[in-house]
Amino acid sequence: MGVVEPYKTTSTAEGRSAVTGKDEDRFNFKVPTLRNVELTYPYFHDGAAQTLEEAVEIMGRLQLGRTYSKQEIGDIVAFLKTLTGDQPSFIMPLLPPSSNDTPPPQPFAK
């Protein structure tokens, strides 16, 4: 995560290697898109950044070696917030109650 400066964390998460058992997968994490990033806090794999402002400040320092001004951080956060869209609405179906006579689902039956 840190290109210019190492990322320091107390998290014991080791990424994909916890699932695959492969050493080359250590510290590889699934990275979500930036769509709706404003709604997906806390940030980073360990939840260390509670706000977008904090995340932008940390990433600027660790990945670019830059210390952004409050104005620059605000501008970047304002841009990131433009990536927030309306959440699709959906209605959960009302299903009839199941009983012993209810046939089991067969999702792959032909």
User: Helix, strand or coil for residue 60?
Assistant: helix
What is the C-alpha to C-alpha distance for residues 75 and 69, in angstroms, rounded to an integer? 10
- How many Cβ atoms sit within 10 Å of the Cβ of residue 52? 20
What pLDDT score was predicted for residue 32?
Answer: 86
Structural domains present in the chain: 17-81 (1.10.760.10)
What pLDDT score was predicted for residue 1?
Answer: 63
In tens digits, what is the pLDDT along the chain, a chain of 110 residues? 667 777 787 787 788 888 898 988 887 888 889 999 999 999 988 888 999 999 999 999 999 999 999 999 999 999 999 999 988 888 988 988 999 999 888 877 77
What is the C-alpha to C-alpha distance for residues 46 and 27, in angstroms, rounded to an integer? 11
What is the C-alpha to C-alpha distance for residues 51 and 94, in angstroms, rounded to an integer? 38
Cβ atoms of 48 and 42 within 8 Å: the answer is: yes
pTM to 2 decimal places: 0.68
